[in-house]
Structure 1
Amino acid sequence: MTDARHIARQQSRHHSDERAQALRALLMAPLMTPAHEDFAAVRRHADELRGWFAREAGWPLHIERDCARLYKRPADLHDPSRGLPDYECRRYVLLSLACAVLERADPQITLRVLGERLLLLAADPTLASRGFRFALTAAHERRELVAVCRSLLQWGVLRRVAGDEEGYVHGAAAATEGGDALYDIQRRVLAGLLAAVRGPSTWSAEQAPVTLEERLSALVTEHVPDSEEGHRTALRHHLARRLLDDPVVYLEALDEAQRAYFINQRGAMASRLCDATGLAAEQRAEGLALVDEDGQLTDVAMPAEGTEAHATLLVAEFLANRPAPASLEDIAAFLAEARSRYGHYWRKSAREAGAEQELAGIALERLRKLQLIALDAGHARPLPALARFALGEADIRKPAAASTPSLFDL
């Protein structure tokens, strides 16, 4: 009987650990295909995961045989640090056009055909009126198209069958023979790419929002029942999304209703979210952060390896110990000084004169993404969570003299 209970406890522990790992994997990869190492675990715990995400964050989770999609909808639409790495407005337009081509294409498509059909959509007068031009005649334009395709490959929307993209990038012209690639289109994954509550194509010309803020809001606005319970649930979902998706939640960033609910419920919320995800809660007077001690649930780790990560850590300590905001020039000057002490650990290009300007910009962007600083009029203003990096001088103490001689003293 004792052995049976021991086995049951082991099985229960394994079940809980696997479910937590599947939940964490979905937070980092909301669009998941069978190629992901945790996809099988996600399918095994599908019902529990669906219930947990719906209850705690109001995020729908769809799991099928060849795709899992957690529809994470951001709570903070004003965070300028969100977005895909190396993507700006032009590349997002190309991504949207590429998805429109794939939605109408046969099950297989080549990179060259994708480019040709994308050109037809890019010639739309509406895009031209907004200053968008794309001709695929220059190498940098082909490189942009390849970057979009590689994003789609990474998400599992495309699956490379044959060929290679590099030959296409370096071709003399888009129409020349030579480098090309053949892809399978994964329809179910493509259909789950957009996480909006309402698709933009459903807006009539009269209803279509105009400004960027209105468009973002229209994409993710959800129906809230007009009742006390409905508003309370909406508040809980909003705060849980911020705790799961943002590095830290500051009280000053919440409106009056959110702040009142958060102050009363943050202990219970943090406990539930931490129990399920394995995160650790750090509660302070200024707010709350859910911290991953393993550093896995983040796309910007700190501390981390590499020159930029080391420079970011140095800048964090510099700002944390500084009473006033610092300009980019102040931070660049600090890094130039730090180069004499730590430069032999940095890559060669970062040790050159003038490289401190680029390093300073990278460090500030990383700190802003982690919500450790705010950038106001070109100056970096420390936020409360940065205080954890306010390291003082090391206190080196000599060991006390031994009261009795050791064996080696005899």
Structure 2
Amino acid sequence: MNREAADRQRAFTALLRSPVLDRHTHPELWPLVRVHRATLGEWFAQRLGYRLVVTGSAARLFRLPLDGVVVAPRRFMPPARRVVVLTILAAAAAEDAEDITTTQDLSDRVRALSTHEDVELAHYDPDRFAERMLFVKAVHLLVSVGALRPTGRDDEDQREGWARRRDAIGGAYEVRRELLLRLVDPASLRAALTGGHDEGAPHEAAARIGLMRKLVELPVVLHEDLTDAERFYLTGQRHRVLNWCVEMTGWVVEQRAEGLALIAADETDTDLPFPRLRAADFAALMVLDELVRAHGAGSVITAVELSSAATAVRERHFKAMTNDLRVGNAVENTARDLLGALDLLRPTGAPDSWRLTAAAARYRDPRVVAVNARLDEEGEG
């Protein structure tokens, strides 16, 4: 593979990972996006039905809904609803702020905005520490999407320091109005309001886009999860589809009887690598193995069986557990949430009932190796 093709793949996968890229925060990736923007735009539009907007200093990928659905899975442990609400209010406040603003300035503006008679939301109360902590998370979320750019120090200690001190101005930020206004563009808003229904779209195009989105966005694609039209398209266009996946990402397509998976070359290319060298992943992996060995992939698991497996793992590997995993139902809850996000443990629709998907067998019989370093709940290996 030549350098140009490799650069296109880097740019494509980077946009999947970070839908907002700009020349300031991504100096190595931004030139690749600029150079290959025509090809990238075609790939996203024709193969995935997404919208890529590239300006003079930034790029924004919009994952438009298709038939009212956005295939990309929800972020694992997404921001709380209140944080999202405060982020939207802070974005509106930033539009009227000076080019350089501060956490305190945005907080004052949001406080005034939230009390407006036309804003039917719970009033933002910066006199409460808990509320201030939620607000700094909201500001950080705006930084992550490029709408605000720190002009100096911007770390967790600095943000928490503002939350604890009533006389601090907090971090200073450049208001990046171009990206602020790109949080929602007309095409994305129209797609969101109409549910992404395009009556004029050819049947084959909808099947192609739906199939490609599932392959690129999901951990694994089971044949049972495809629509009839997507299965028919895959049957007739399998070679083309798999070549597209490799061309865009450089990753490996793994084909099994039950489905397909696009395996990322590096764990940084996925939003939820598993298993990482941390206690939560270790606990979830061992619970998964316990369930697979006892019941087999494809089996339906009850809450009692999940709890029993979690208890067995906690007792067998007690020394490997961090303090927060040693109490109550922590191992069970951690395993359920993480394995669910990975689509290894799928809700059946019945109360307290899940199914082990076929991909769960991929993780059977893990080899446990003792290491000197302690597993870190927050660290990554």
With the shorter chain as reference, the TM-score category is 0.7 to 0.9
Question: For 2:94 and 2:367, how far apart are their aligned partners in 1?
Answer: 58
The answer to whether structure 1 residue 121 and structure 2 residue 106 are counterparts is no
Task: Please give the secondary structure, in 1, of the residue aligned with 2:271.
Answer: coil
1:189 aligned residue (151, 174, 179): 179
Whether the 8 Å CA contact 2:76–2:272 is kept in 1: the answer is no
**What is the TM-score of this pair, normalised by structure 1?**
0.77
Structure 1 gaps of 5+ residues are: 1-11, 201-215, 395-410
Length-normalised TM-score, structure 2:
0.83
Q: Who is 1:404 aligned against?
A: none
The AA in structure 1 aligned to 2:342 is L
Partner in structure 1 of residue 79 of structure 2: 87
Correspondence for 1:384: 358
Q: Which residue of 1 aligns with 2:12?
A: 23
- 1:99 partner SS: helix
Q: 1:335 aligns with which of 305, 310, 319?
A: 310
The answer on whether the counterparts of 1:224 and 1:231 sit within 8 Å (CA) in structure 2 is no
Q: Does 1:301 align with 2:255?
A: no
**Is the CA contact 2:110–2:124 (under 8 Å) kept in the aligned structure 1?**
no
Match of 1:32 in 2: 21
Aligned residue for 1:197, secondary structure, equals helix
Q: What is the CA distance between 1:32 and its match in structure 2?
A: 0.7
Instruction: Decide whether the 8 Å contact of 1:373 with 1:380 is kept in 2.
Output: yes
Out of 369, 380, 385, the position equivalent to 2:341 is: 369
Q: Aligned pair in 2 of structure 1 residues 80, 19: CA closer, same or farther (>3 Å)?
A: closer
Could you say what secondary structure the match of 2:272 adopts? coil
Q: What is the Cα deviation at residue 258 of structure 1?
A: 2.9
1:141 is displaced (CA, Å) by 0.2
1:254 equivalent among 216, 226, 231: 226
Tell me by how many angstroms 1:360 deviates. 1.8
Q: Which runs of 5+ in 2 are unaligned?
A: 369-381
Residue of structure 2 aligned with 1:137, choices 127, 135, 141 = 127
Give the deviation of 1:225 after TM superposition. Answer: 2.4
Q: 2:170 aligns with which of 156, 159, 180?
A: 180
Q: Please point out which of 148, 151, 154 is paired with 1:158.
A: 148
Which protein, 1 or 2, shows the higher relative CO under an 8 Å CA cutoff with sep ≥ 6?
Answer: 2
Aligned match of 1:98 = 90
Residues 102 and 169 in structure 2, CA contact (< 8 A), matched pair in contact too: no
CA pair 51-294 structure 1, distance change in 2 beyond 3 A: same
Question: C-alpha displacement at 1:146, in angstroms?
Answer: 0.2
Q: CA deviation at 1:111?
A: 1.3
Q: 1:61-97: CA deviations, max 9, x gaps?
A: 2222321112223558387961474413222211211
Q: State the Cα distance separating 1:359 from its structure 2 match.
A: 2.3
Structure 2 partner of 1:283: 255
Structure 2: distance between partners of 1:319 and 1:381: 10
Say whether the 8 Å CA contact 1:197–1:220 is kept in structure 2.
no
Residue 94 of structure 1 aligns with an amino acid whose one-letter code is L
Please give the residue correspondences for 1:33-72 in structure 2 after superposition, counting only pairs within 5 Å.
33-34=22-23, 35-36=25-26, 37-72=28-63
Q: Which amino acid aligns with 1:101?
A: A
Give 1:390 deviation, angstroms. 3.3
Q: Distance in 1 between matches of 2:138 and 2:356?
A: 35
Q: Distance in 1 between matches of 2:16 and 2:238?
A: 20
Bigger Rg over Cα? 1
Range 136-145 or range 296-305, more displaced = 296-305
Shift of 1:316: 2.0
Corresponding residue number in structure 2 for 1:317: 289
Deviations along 1:158-197, one digit per CA (max 9) or x if unpaired, are 12225743332002xxxx4234222111112212223773
Bigger Cα displacement from structure 2, 51-60 vs 21-30: 51-60
Q: Report matched runs for 1:216-235 at 5 Å.
A: 218=193, 220-221=195-196, 223-225=198-200, 230-235=202-207
CA apart distance, 1:353: 4.1
Residue in 2 that maps onto 1:211 = none
Partner amino acid, structure 2, of 1:366: L
Contact 1:328 1:360 in 2 (8 A): no
- The residue that corresponds to 2:189 in the other structure is 199
- For the aligned residue pairs, the C-alpha RMSD in angstroms reads 2.9
Counterparts of 1:196 and 1:318, CA distance in 2 = 49
